[in-house]
A and B are shown apart, each in its own frame.
Chain A
Amino acid sequence: MDAVSETIDRDDNLAVHSGVGDAAAPSHLDHLEAESIHIIREAVAESDNPVLLYSIGKDSSVLLHLVRKAFYPAKPPLPLLHVDTTWKFREMIAFRDARAKQLGLELIVHVNRDGLERGIDPIASGSSLHTDVMKTQALRQALDRHRFDAALGGARRDEEKSRAKERVFSLRSANHAWDPKRQRPEPWRIYNGRKRPGESIRVFPLSNWTELDVWLYIHRERIPVVPLYFAAPRPVVVRDGALIMVDDERLPLASGERPQIRMVRFRTLGCYPLTGAIESTACTVAEIIQETLESRHSERRGRVIDHDGATSMERKKQEGYF
């Protein structure tokens, strides 16, 4: 048995979480957890109408878990918002609905109807227009409609270069734009949640987590995640070197193109035609951790939208993409 699964298996036998056993010195996961809970409570306490941006992925699952911890024994005092582009994997939607029901949480699902009517889709319209209309604009619509003044999201600083400089409390103007010059210094653990009328704050409690931390924490806390993260035989086609899963009949196939069954999993989840799978045999969280440790590719590689150019993510952020 290799070193990682050894560590993990040993850990599995522990009846309690680290830190609950009084003797154990807090690990870096304990630090990250305590810090995130502190941020979550600050965000909710300092806003009038907060919302949890729930994208169904692993980071959102960790964030939701931390939000439950932050307010236990009370229920989280904020609803979940999912911006649905209508092109998410079916398993994501099923997981989302089951999870909200199981936890008894209010779930708001927002779809940009206007965009749907215009017939925007990720294939014909192209990934960048689709993301802009169905995700960025849709998110703005939802925040405006419900007058949310603070939106908590699961973005991490290690995901992408321009995010490395993101604040924990990120100020957005009345039209949701991100102005690098107006971002506030955040010394110590003091967050400035003040905003003028119309402005809002995006809050990133997982800022200091890495992809590996997220998996280690999912493992430690036994947090449920969408099964698409685990390897399974799935029907895929190869497009521009990316493995695209044929999740429903809407994906147009070129003549002669046939889905092939391959053992794949996903490192990030989004709209299925825009999300590349990786070939993998990792079927458990422990195996995913092992794979992450050995991996030579960053997780965002599977995302088509990041490849539009070196500064594309930053441009999207200025426009209000999360």
Chain B
Amino acid sequence: MNVHAQPAEPAFAAPHGQERKSLLRFIACGSVDHGKSTLIGRLLYDSKQVFDDQLDALVADSRKFGTQGDALDFSLLLDGLAAEREQNITIDVAYRFFSTARRKFIVIDAPGHEEYTANMATGASVADLALVLVAVEEGLTRQTKRHLVILSMLGVRHVVLAVNKMDRVGWSRDAFGAVEIAFRELAADLGFIDIVCIPVAAKSGDNVTSRSEHLPWYGGPSLLDYLETVEPSETANLDPLRMPIQWVNRPDPDFRGYSGLITSGEVRVGMPVKVLPAGGVTRIARIVTFDGDLGHAAAGRSVTLTFTDPVDATRGDIVAAVERAPAVAERVRARIFWMKDRPLERGQTYLFKLATSTATARVEAGLSMIDLDTRRAVEAVSIGPNEVGNCTLSFDRAITLDRYEGCRDTGSFILIDPETFDTVAMGCVEEIAPLQSRSRLAKWLPKRTGAVRGKLTRWTETHARSFVKAVSWRATGSLDTFVVTFVISGSTKLAGSVALTEILTKILIYYGHERIWALVPWGKRQAAP
């Protein structure tokens, strides 16, 4: 084949609207040797993303390292690290870029080997769609199952199954059908909303960028056609506002802005918002950007907000819609993917990073692991490398968060080893325990008073309320003093002056007395909700 003469597909030729294309991030995953590198190499090559000098290098490399004799080995376009070359496998996740007239694509090229599943999971966390590659003769592997469980945990909802190496089975419809049925069965209870199966031959390019004549029985789109037209976007604007604060912007004493990326919903000038965990409610005064103020901004934008009132807000806090605000919690149940050799066990502590906040988390009792064959959770004493499981985490302080299902960015976290600072796990919040009450005094009161703490909400008196109570009590009391003194002494003058002096002194005494009682939790109980 003369590589230089290959004409480009017409789809790639038109440079219209370069600045206005949509973006699709998809993860490509498959077991080793099922042909993933070849398939991606094809997509890049056919979309003219491969330059002449890289092609020259490819021709030379194909002779030296290739497994294809004299033909081009497209997978060599991709493998980067020297170690990978030697072992002939893709180790790390790699990012590839190509674009067509309609779309810009970011391909997250995930390694197939089990020991590198962490890279696959990382890539899947940011993917709009997953391309799962299965060689038709080999069929589904244990690694395919693992990949599907992880894709499901991370909420990837669109899956394309490319059944590869169709040339090896004489383009057989039945062989394709068998893989498709097995795959649909496996994926059935994993919550995908859309599964598309496409027969391909990556090496020869059949059904990759255009429909193949070898597959007349197949009526669907080619792989690229599908990738160009699928609409994985969610109804982002209906989601509640979330903006984790990254940075407090204070160029001068008159300006105090809060910078962050809007991860969910949208924000408008004048809109009431809540800043958590403190819970202060205020309104949006301005939405500031370098290019001028905005009237509103939606998820995916980086902005700087100012508020109409001074509220307690700092890095790590979350600016949220007042309705449907995130939870503030000290304990969660989470699904995690474990990435380190040393397993996760009860009693260990890790740094917990969610959005822009970090806390210390302790692993509580109640670990379980997902069985790959049944896809059910079974009780476990530890969660090992590349396993998916559930655990309960308790934090050293209250953290603002969501359930992953509701808001991805504020419901996902990583665990960091407190000594090596390695990232050891990624996780999704599944259940949130209600916040425990903890008045300042309760911390050093004996534990038994904490028996009902779990359900207690914190009710404390404000200073204003104590003072108004003091005045109203004094007014009533002093009227009484006036009447009593008058009845006994018969002197309005004496009764008046006694009552007046008393008003002043006793207001202060009452106020002090109230405040002291406000600190004592003894004898307080909250009515059942």
Expressed in whole angstroms, the Cα–Cα distance for A314 and B86 within the complex equals 14
Residue of A nearest to B292 (CB): A20
Instruction: Tell whether, in the assembled complex, residue A297 and residue B291 are in contact, meaning their CB atoms are under 8 Å apart.
Output: no
Say whether B149 faces chain A, with CB atoms less than 8 Å apart.
Answer: no
Is A11 interfacial (CB 8 A cutoff)? yes
B17, CB-defined interface residue at 8 Å: yes
Is A301 interfacial (CB 8 A cutoff)?
yes
Which residues of the other chain, A, contact B79 by a CB distance below 8 angstroms? 161
Out of A73, A164, A298, name the residue touching B95 (CB < 8 Å).
Answer: A164
Give which listed residue, A30, A69, A220, A297, contacts B52 with CB less than 8 A.
Answer: A297
Interface residue from B109, B247, B422 paired with A41 (Cβ < 8 Å): B247
**Does B16 reach chain A (CB closer than 8 Å)?**
yes
Q: Which residues of B contact A71 (CB under 8 A)?
A: 247, 249, 259
- Comparing A53-61, A84-92, A130-138, A186-194, the segment that makes contact with chain B is A186-194
- Is A190 a contact partner of B294 (Cβ separation < 8 A)? no
Q: B61 touching A188 by the CB < 8 A rule?
A: no
C-alpha spacing A198/B15, complex, angstroms: 48
Contact A297 B19 (CB under 8 A): no
Q: Which residues of B contact A196 (CB under 8 A)?
A: 420-421
- Contact residue range for chain B? 35 or more
Residue of A nearest to B65 (CB): A310
Selected interface stretch from B117-125, B324-332, B493-501 = B117-125
Asked whether any CB of chain A lies closer than 8 Å to the CB of B89, the reply is no
Partner of B353, one of A72, A190, A220, A310: A190
Q: Is B185 an interface residue (CB 8 A)?
A: no
Q: In the complex, which residue of chain B has the Cβ closest to the Cβ of A164?
A: B94
Let me know if A42 and B246 touch, CB within 8 A: yes
A194 touches B351 (CB 8 A): yes
Q: Which of A232-286 contact B (CB under 8 A)?
A: none
Whether B250 pairs with A74 at a CB distance below 8 angstroms is yes
Say yes or no for B23: interface residue by CB 8 A criterion. Answer: yes
- With a 10 A CB-CB cut-off, give which of A38, A216, A289 has the most chain B CB atoms: A38
Complex Cα spacing A18 to B18, Å: 13
Are B19 and A314 touching (Cβ within 8 A)? no
Contact of B18 among A42, A212, A301 (CB under 8 A): A212
Contact A45 B247 (CB under 8 A): yes
- Decide if A296 is an interface residue (CB 8 Å cutoff): yes
A157 to B479, CA, bound (A): 82
Is A289's CB under 8 angstroms from B18's CB? yes
Query: Which residues on A sit within 8 Å (CB–CB) of B92?
Result: 165, 180, 183
- Give the secondary structure class of B's interface: mixed
Contact B315 A45 (CB under 8 A): yes
B26 to chain A, nearest CB (A): 14
The smallest C-beta distance from A109 to any residue of chain B, in angstroms, reads 26
Which of A21-29, A94-102, A113-121, A142-150 forms part of the interface with chain B?
A: A21-29
Contact B409 A19 (CB under 8 A): no
**B422 and A34 contacting across the interface, CB-CB below 8 Å:** no
Bound together, the chains give a CA A249 to CA B85 distance in angstroms of: 43
- Does any Cβ of A come within 8 Å of B436's Cβ? no
Q: How far is the CA of A186 from the CA of B416 in the complex (A)?
A: 12
Q: Which residues of A come within 8 Å of B, CB atoms?
A: 3-4, 7, 11, 16-20, 22, 25-31, 33-35, 37-38, 41-42, 44-45, 68-75, 157-158, 161-165, 180, 182-190, 192, 194-196, 207-208, 210, 212, 216, 219-220, 289-290, 293, 295-298, 301, 310-311, 314-315
Q: List 22 A-B contacts (CB under 8 A).
A: A16-B291, A27-B22, A28-B104, A45-B247, A45-B315, A69-B290, A158-B95, A165-B93, A185-B339, A187-B414, A187-B426, A188-B125, A189-B409, A190-B355, A208-B97, A212-B18, A293-B18, A296-B51, A298-B51, A311-B85, A314-B80, A314-B81
Please name 16 further chain A to chain B contacts, defined as beta carbons within 8 Å, in addition to the given A26-B301, A208-B106, sorted by A numbering.
A4-B18, A16-B291, A34-B300, A34-B302, A38-B260, A71-B259, A72-B304, A73-B288, A74-B249, A165-B81, A180-B83, A186-B423, A189-B126, A216-B18, A220-B19, A311-B82
Report which B residues bind A (CB closer than 8 A): 14-23, 51-54, 57, 61, 78-83, 85, 92-97, 99, 104, 106, 109, 118-119, 121-122, 125-126, 246-247, 249-251, 255, 257, 259-261, 263, 288-292, 294-296, 298, 300-302, 304, 315, 339, 351, 353-356, 408-409, 412-414, 416, 420-423, 426
